[in-house]
Structure 1
Amino acid sequence: MQFVMPNPVLEMAIPAMYGIAGPALLVGWVLHVFHGVVLGVVYVALVQLGPLRAAATRLGSSIGLGVGYGVVTTALPVFVMPLWLMAVGFPGAPPFPNFGIPGTLVSLAGHIVYAVPVAISYALIASE
């Protein structure tokens, strides 16, 4: 992540979402990891409480759910992050929507690489 995200995102934009002036690389890392934890909990809540519970407990279908969740969570930096940064007055806010090649594809790959193991872990734990 450190080497594929555009430089100011991790140290400036992510901290700015919470009113923290950068550069603050460590804060950016901590907040990004925190976002990952929240998204993992949201995945569990969605599959636990929604109609996909049975599918989420099977290994094969959980991989597909993980890929789908990776795609859905890629919408956050594309749509939510620019609006959030504009709302807090961050001068370096990206345009809305923040869709660009190869950046969005790299983000998509990263979110899928994160979401698939989350979904597999849920399937392995929930099926016991």
Structure 2
Amino acid sequence: MATETATAANEVSTETGDWKAGVAGGLAGGVVFGLVMTYVIPAPLLGVVIPSMYGLAPPAAPFVGWVIHMAHGAVLGVGFAALVGLKPSIGENTGAALGAGAAYGLAVWVGLAVIVMPIWLSAVGSPANPPLPNVSALSAIGHLAYGAVLGGAYVGLAD
């Protein structure tokens, strides 16, 4: 004799945020910030500093720096999507998403560029090691631009 048990199909989402919009927004912000680093900031960031984080420079390797920079932008974009997923109304409001993106960009600047990067570059013996803390107004502006573009792209691309 067979027994059948009916169960209610309750769909529970474990997703937070739209990670695809986070990746795309992070890539868009990465392009803008990369252009700032290339044409505005005087240091050889994309050619030497970023590749040397992974032991890939010197000599200067601008293409490698761009690839790593864009990968960082995409990963950080997923982090932004996860944070927006905690308060989904941000992802539905352009002004809120732009503001949240700008704040996120500045938080990334403080945490990663000001503190983590100099420690990391020192640990790997990079010749392009900045001081700790690595405070630069141009870097802050670049990260702010990254975040604002990320937030704007996110709100435009999220489901």
When the two structures are superposed, what TM-score results if normalisation uses the length of structure 1? Answer: 0.82
SS at match of 1:5: coil
> 1:31-46 counterparts in 2 under 5 A?
31-46=68-83
> 1:1-128 counterparts in 2 under 5 A?
1-22=37-58, 23-48=60-85, 50=86, 52-75=87-110, 76-99=112-135, 104-126=136-158, 128=159
Runs (4+) of structure 1 exceeding 3 A deviation are: none
What are the ranges of 5 or more consecutive residues in structure 2 without an aligned counterpart?
Answer: 1-36
For the residues of structure 2 that align with 1:6 and 1:125, how far apart are their CA atoms? 33
SS at match of 1:2: helix
**Which moves more between the two structures, 15-24 or 104-113?**
104-113
- Write out per-residue CA displacement over residues 21-71 of structure 1, whole angstroms, 9 at most, x where no aligned residue: 2211111121112111111111112211x2x32223212211210111121
The one-letter code matched in structure 2 to 1:89 is G
Contact 1:56 1:65 survives alignment (8 Å): no
Q: Which has the higher contact order (CA 8 A, sep 6+)?
A: 2
Shift in Å at residue 82 of structure 1?
Answer: 0.2
Shift in Å at residue 121 of structure 1?
Answer: 2.5
Shift in Å at residue 6 of structure 1?
Answer: 3.0
The one-letter code matched in structure 2 to 1:83 is I
What are the ranges of 5 or more consecutive residues in structure 1 without an aligned counterpart?
Answer: none
Larger Rg: 2
When the two structures are superposed, what TM-score results if normalisation uses the length of structure 2? Answer: 0.68
Percent of aligned positions that are identical: 43
For the residues of structure 1 that align with 2:40 and 2:134, how far apart are their CA atoms? 16
For the residues of structure 2 that align with 1:46 and 1:94, how far apart are their CA atoms? 30
Contact 1:67 1:116 survives alignment (8 Å): yes
